Chains A and B, each alone.
Chain A
Amino acid sequence: MKKVVERPVDVFEAFNRAKTGPKVSEKEWDFKIIPQSASALKKKYGIKFNEKEVIPTDKDTINSLFLAGMEMLVQNGVYCINTGRVIKVTEEEVKEAIKKAPDKLVIGEGRDAVDMVPRSPQDSRWPIVQGGPTGAPVSEEIFLPMMQSYAQEAIVDCIVSGVMNTVEGNEPFPNSPWEIKGTRMEVALVRQACHKVGRPGMGL
Chain B
Amino acid sequence: MRASDPHEMSLLNELKVDLGGLQMIAGWIMNGDIIMIEQMPTFGGYAGGLEETTIVDVSSHLIAFTICNADFHLDGPVHVRWGITTAREPLTVAGHCNMAIDANTHLLTSNQYYPLAQPCTEMCLLETAAQAITDTGSGRELMSGSAAAKGVALDYTTGMEARIMGEAAKAVAGMKVETVNEILDKLISLYEGNYRNPPQGKTFQQCYDVVKVTPTPEYVEVYGKAVETLEGLGLKFTF
Contacts and interface: CB of A to CB of B under 8 A. Distances in A.
A18 B88 CA distance: 36
B153 A14 contact: no
Contacts of B208: 145-146, 149
B224 to A, nearest CB: 16
Contacts of A167: none
A82 B178 CA distance: 45
Contacts of B191: none
B229 interface: no
Given A136-B151, A146-B158, A130 B110 contact: yes
Given A107-B5, A109-B4, A203-B4, A82 B140 contact: no
Nearest to B179: A122
A170 B108 CA distance: 38
Given A42-B52, A73-B66, A153-B163, A55 B106 contact: no
A170 to B, nearest CB: 16
B165 interface: yes
A53 B139 contact: no
Contacts of A142: 155, 204-205, 210
A120 B141 CA distance: 9
Contacts of A113: 4
A115 to B, nearest CB: 10
> What 10 pairs between A and B have smallest CB-CB spacing?
A69-B58, A131-B162, A155-B166, A149-B159, A38-B52, A14-B67, A124-B174, A65-B100, A133-B157, A129-B166
Interface of A: 9-15, 18, 26, 29-31, 34-35, 38-39, 41-42, 47-49, 52-57, 59, 61-63, 65-66, 68-70, 72-73, 76-83, 87, 89, 93-94, 97-98, 100-103, 105-109, 113, 116-139, 142, 145-146, 148-150, 152-153, 155-156, 160, 162, 165, 187, 203-204
Interface of B: 1-2, 4-6, 12, 14-19, 22, 25-26, 29, 34, 46-48, 50-59, 61-63, 65-72, 88, 91-92, 95-97, 99-108, 110, 112-114, 134-149, 151-160, 162-163, 165-167, 169-170, 172-178, 180-181, 184-185, 188, 204-205, 208, 210-211, 213, 215
26 contacts: A38-B52, A53-B181, A55-B137, A57-B177, A65-B54, A65-B97, A66-B58, A72-B58, A80-B19, A82-B19, A93-B66, A105-B108, A106-B4, A116-B142, A121-B137, A129-B142, A131-B165, A133-B157, A134-B113, A134-B157, A137-B152, A145-B211, A148-B213, A152-B159, A160-B112, A162-B157
